[in-house]
């Protein structure tokens, strides 16, 4: 079940980023190769009343070379396309402006719920001034103050109440959802079309959760159902903002949320770029299955070492994805494309795999016998037992005398032993240390 998306729109200086920062519990972090984590300014996770959601500050999507008014109109369009609920932010200081009215007119055309918020209502006396905002025709205005943190609870109540119902969003259980993500021009749409050409049993084009996303379903010979999720660049609509990096990262994140398995597409000609790492890192953090596809393999002059050299580069740049298989493909010559669905299926099985506690503990005992647990300040780590508590991604709880003593390197060692014994290729994996009481 993907998280609902909330977008904040409004003209510059009304306080969008201030409100965004207030609502953002945790920035959606994007794994960086060495330094660990970089932050994306426009996208974050929030939580209210136990519901988590993703939040976008559309003000952060800069569309260069566009005049002021068309910038904010485009931002409003992005919100309409991408969000489940839109917060339209205005400011009590300037009152209702022409720009506000223009944004409102765009928002009327959408059937997405719009919540009107009036910012900078820093004290109760100013509340009387918000009634002017009824003239925008978007219902009751919510007074808030980003700098003082006022009114946000009522605003969030209303946002959450407007989320799509669970049934509306429910997606069938027995379908494997996958998507192609990557920078513009790596060949995502060519891959989609080529695969559709190969797979003869296309079930239908079905509308996804976002009204204008078009997913495609197909079934393999064994009756396994696949859903190919529409991603940025696949059904190009020719809008200016589609080529901006922020927008394409945002679309990618949205597609990743809805996927079980993510195909991270790289361009063999151009090698690995910074943006490739961002989206791959997000898929990893989100616990999704991952396959690395090196597309345009036909364009390289190859000798016996080419594949090996490419693999070494990928392993070095994407160290956290050591579990992800790499496939070298071409959307043009169709090389290896027919093997993709089988690989996806294999990884889907791996991410749903459950290992019995007794088998797991055999592996654990054996691992500890070969590589004794570390000591820290005279205290030795003791591992009592381990049990799998979840799938997708496989999650294991290991009971120990003191979780602090389970250092990263020993955790890595245990993970590798488990991976050596059971097939978890293509799926990230969580190991949680708990103190045994």
Residues in the annotated binding site for GTP: 10-17, 57-61, 119-122, 182-189, 230-234, 295-298
Comparing CB distances to ligand GDP, the nearer of 158 and 190 is 190
Task: Give me the phi and psi of 27, to 5 degrees please.
Answer: -70, 140
Residues 279 and 182: beta-carbon distance below 8 Å: yes
Comparing CB distances to ligand GDP, the nearer of 3 and 119 is 119
CB of 245 to ligand GDP, least distance (A): 13
E strand map for 168-322: 175-181, 202-207, 214-219, 225-229, 261-267, 289-295
> Which of 47, 122, 171, 346 is the binder for ligand GDP (CB under 6 A)?
122
Q: Does 243 bind ligand GDP (CB under 6 A)?
A: no
Residue 164 to residue 161: CA distance in whole angstroms: 9
Residue 291 to residue 284: CA distance in whole angstroms: 11
| Residue numbers belonging to the annotated binding site | 10-17, 57-61, 119-122, 182-189, 230-234, 295-298
Quote the radius of gyration of the chain (alpha carbons, Å). 24
CB of 272 to ligand GDP, least distance (A): 15
Residues 282 and 45: beta-carbon distance below 8 Å: no
Comparing CB distances to ligand GDP, the nearer of 293 and 347 is 293
Per-residue binding letters, 30-69, with ligand GDP (x by CB under 6 A):
-----------------------------x----------
Mutual angle of helices 68-82 and 245-258, in 10-degree steps: 10
Residues in region 130-159 near ligand GDP by CB under 6 A: 145-147
Residues 209 and 221: beta-carbon distance below 8 Å: no
> Which of 15, 141, 151, 289 is the binder for ligand GDP (CB under 6 A)?
15
Comparing CB distances to ligand GDP, the nearer of 210 and 248 is 248
Task: Number of residues interacting with ligand GDP: please give it, by CB under 6 A.
Answer: 32
- Tokens 């309409």 sit on residue: 80
Residues that bind ligand GDP (CB under 6 A): 10, 12-18, 59, 119-120, 122, 145-147, 182, 184-190, 233-234, 295-296, 298-299, 330-332
């Amino acid at each position: 079940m993907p998280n609902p998306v909330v977008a904040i729109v409004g003209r510059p200086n009304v306080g969008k980023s201030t409100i965004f920062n207030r609502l953002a519990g945790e920035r959606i972090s994007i794994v960086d190769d060495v330094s660990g984590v970089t932050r994306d300014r426009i996208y974050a996770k929030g939580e209210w009343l136990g519901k988590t959601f993703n939040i976008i500050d559309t003000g952060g999507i800069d569309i260069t070379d566009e005049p002021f008014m068309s910038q904010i109109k485009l931002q409003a369009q992005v919100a309409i396309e991408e969000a489940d609920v839109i917060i339209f932010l205005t400011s009590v200081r300037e009152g209702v402006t022409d720009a506000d009215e223009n944004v409102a007119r765009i928002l009327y055309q959408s059937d997405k719920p719009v919540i009107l918020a009036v910012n900078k209502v820093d004290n109760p006396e100013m509340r009387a001034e918000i009634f002017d905002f009824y003239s925008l025709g978007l219902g009751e205005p919510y007074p808030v103050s980003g700098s003082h943190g006022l009114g946000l609870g009522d605003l969030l109540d209303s946002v959450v109440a407007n989320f799509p119902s669970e049934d509306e969003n429910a997606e069938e259980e027995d379908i494997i959802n996958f998507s192609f993500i990557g920078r513009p021009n790596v060949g995502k749409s060519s891959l989609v079309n080529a695969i559709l050409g190969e797979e003869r049993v296309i079930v239908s084009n079905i509308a996804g959760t976002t009204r204008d996303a078009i997913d495609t379903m197909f079934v393999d010979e064994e009756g396994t159902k696949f859903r190919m999720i529409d991603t940025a660049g696949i059904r190009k609509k020719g809008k200016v903002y589609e080529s901006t990096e922020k927008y394409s990262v945002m679309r990618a994140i949205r597609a990743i949320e809805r996927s079980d398995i993510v195909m991270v597409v790289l361009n063999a000609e151009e090698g690995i770029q910074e943006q490739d790492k961002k989206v791959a890192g997000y898929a990893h953090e989100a616990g999704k299955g991952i396959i690395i596809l090196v597309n345009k393999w036909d364009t390289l002059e190859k000798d016996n070492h080419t594949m090996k050299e490419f693999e070494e580069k990928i392993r070095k740049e994407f160290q956290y994805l050591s579990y992800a298989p790499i496939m070298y493909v071409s959307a043009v010559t169709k090389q290896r494309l027919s093997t993709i669905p089988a690989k996806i299926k294999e990884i889907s099985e791996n991410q749903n795999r459950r290992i019995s506690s007794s088998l797991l503990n055999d592996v654990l005992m054996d691992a500890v016998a070969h590589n004794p647990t570390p000591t820290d300040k005279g205290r030795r780590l003791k591992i009592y037992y381990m049990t799998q508590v979840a799938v997708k991604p496989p999650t294991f709880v290991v009971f120990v005398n003191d979780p602090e003593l389970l250092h990263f390197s020993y955790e890595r060692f245990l993970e590798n032993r488990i991976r050596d014994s059971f097939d978890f290729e293509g799926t990230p994996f969580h190991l949680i240390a708990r103190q045994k009481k």
